[in-house]
Amino acid sequence: MHTIVDARVIITCPGRNFVTLKITTKSGVYGLGDATLNGRELAVASYLTDHIVPCLLGRDARQIEDIWQFFYRGAYWRTGPVTMTAIAAVDVALWDIKAKNANMPLYDLLGGASRTGVMVYGHANGKDMDETIAQARHYKDMGYKAIRLQSGVPGLASTYGVSKDKLYYEPADSARPTENVWSTSKYMPTVPKLFAAAREALGWEVHLLHDVHHRLTPLEAGRLGKDLEPFRPFWLEDCTPAENQAGFRTIRQHTTTPLAVGEVFNSVWDAKQLIDEQLIDYIRTTIVHAGGISHVRRIAHLAELNNVRTGFHGATDLSPVCMGAALHFDLWVPNFGIQEYMRHTPETDAVFPHAYTFSDGYLHPGTAPGHGVDLDEALAAKYPYRAASLPVNRLEDGTLFNW
Ligand code: KDG
Ligand code: MG
């Protein structure tokens, strides 16, 4: 009855590419897991189809932990975004099945609701400060309690993270990567000005966030954090690349602005020093890119011991399946901080009918058994895969840059 009899990868592009794993058991119950890795969708699809599915068929779907360990420890080549995204898809699909069999919403199976809703933040983007503030007002009017502010930088033609879309966020804009130009000296003074204007326009009740997208050195990040302190930011995100975790000690020595990191992490090992030494305040590692619920749960527990809260990545390139699973996790996890929420297009929402709802700045995962997100396969088949890459950055002298 619990034997896995089918596991299939479904790729669809209702505006952007999404990869979904569908696992079915002998009794006919199925579960869905997101396997989308922006710009590398086909690599994960191949990893699943060629290496995981043949080992999954015939296993007992109830043995989530053993299956997770098999694919993690048994792979020899451990961790990495492609591997961990593929493992996450299996893990989330199996949790979905377990919760459906138990006739429980996933959050109940995890330990029950710890809060009535999940506070989310959206992105206010603008080509300049005025446009960003106008967009932030719009989010506030929609009920958002937290808003990320990103603005174009005078003198730079385009800036990563400042998308033309307003409610969605899609930086993968062409098959071959677009090349943006970056200047730290042009960027640095713009952010405190933006925050000063935002406090003036929006008041002090609303939480304000900013994403640096890994563009600064630790010392520069410390300076930016200090410059932002008077405006009480909720967090400063990805202010420096985190491969060198010790670099965050420098930032901590210079600022009390809370720090958020981890959307590109795929394992607890990427964050261990940051969390152990309390060098960050929010861990952003997502369920889809870090081995699923089984592994992110370990990261969250380690974080809890060190006063670090969760703040999961939730841009438009994470599918509704990931969002559904994340919201169940968020509703349960004791050390929840905030959840990013950039919406999906109506086409995507139609392909992935879901139980989660937004109201007054909070999302709720709904009470449907499982994670509450489904996939309309017939509709999905109408949107074939389209290659799209994330941009790269160069400095003004042409140096390829991405710290
Ligand atoms: O795929 C990459 C995007 O999801 C990323 O640029 C989004 O930085 C991001 C964010 O914080 O949402
Ligand atoms: Mg980010």
| Closest ligand 1 atom number to CA of residue 342 | 12
Residues 293 and 287: beta-carbon distance below 8 Å:
yes
Q: How far apart are CA 339 and CA 323, in angstroms?
A: 9
| CA gap 54, 46 in Å, rounded | 12
Tokens of 6: 């089918």
H helices of 103-242, where?
A: 106-110, 129-141, 184-187, 190-202, 218-228
Report whether 124 contacts 147 (CB < 8 A). Answer: yes
Residues flanking ligand 1, CB < 6 Å: 38, 169, 171, 211, 213, 263, 313, 315, 317, 340, 390
Residue nearest to atom 8 of ligand 1 (CA): 213
Q: Ligand 2 centroid to 392 CA: how many Å?
A: 15
Residue 118 identity: V
Q: Which of 288, 313, 338 to mutate to test the pocket of ligand 1 (most atoms within 8 A of CB)?
A: 313
What per-residue confidence (pLDDT) applies to 166? 73
Ligand 1 nearest atom to the CA of residue 161, by list position: 6
Determine phi and psi for 237, rounding to 5 degrees. -105, 140
Measured from the alpha carbon of residue 171, the closest ligand is: 1
Ligand 1 atom at minimal distance to the Cα of residue 340? 12
Distance 229 CA to ligand 2 centre (A): 20
37 alpha carbon, closest ligand: 1
* Residue nearest to ligand 1 atom 4, measured at CA: 315
Nearest ligand to the CA of 238 is 2
pLDDT on residue 356: 98
Phi, psi of 240 (to 5 degrees): -145, 155
Q: Kindly give, in sequence order, each residue whose CB lies less than 8 Å from that of residue 344, ignoring residues fewer than 6 positions away.
A: 15, 168, 316, 319, 320, 323, 352
Nearest CA to ligand 1 atom 12: 315
CA 67 to ligand 2 centroid distance, Å: 31
In DSSP terms, 149 is beta-bridged to: 124
Nearest-CA residue for ligand 1 atom 7 is 315
Give the list of residues 6+ apart from residue 273 with CB closer than 8 angstroms, or none. Answer: 245, 246, 279
**This prediction's pTM:** 0.97
Q: CA 253, CA 163: separation in Å to the nearest integer?
A: 33
Which residue's CA is the closest to the ligand 1 atom numbered 1? 38
Nearest CA to ligand 1 atom 10: 315
Q: 289 CA to middle of ligand 1, Å?
A: 12
Alpha carbon of 187 to ligand 2 centroid (Å): 17
Write down the pLDDT at residue 402: 67
315 Cα to the center of ligand 1, angstroms: 6
CA 318 / ligand 1 centre spacing (Å): 9
The pLDDT of residue 375 is 98
CB contact at 8 A, 59 and 4:
yes
Instruction: Look at the alpha carbons of 79, 84, 90, 91 in this order and tell me if their dihedral is positive or negative.
Output: positive
pLDDT at site 229? 98
- Report which ligand 1 atom has the smallest distance to the Cα of 148: 11
- Atom number in ligand 1 closest to CA 123: 12
> For ligand 1, atom 9, which residue shows the shortest CA distance?
315
Q: Which atom of ligand 1 is nearest to the CA of 160?
A: 6
**Which one of 149, 180, 261, 263 would you pick to mutate in the ligand 1 pocket, going by the greatest count of ligand atoms within 8 A of its CB?**
263
Token pair of 58, please?
């015939």
- Which residues of the chain have a pLDDT value below 70? 402-403
Catalytic residues: 160, 213
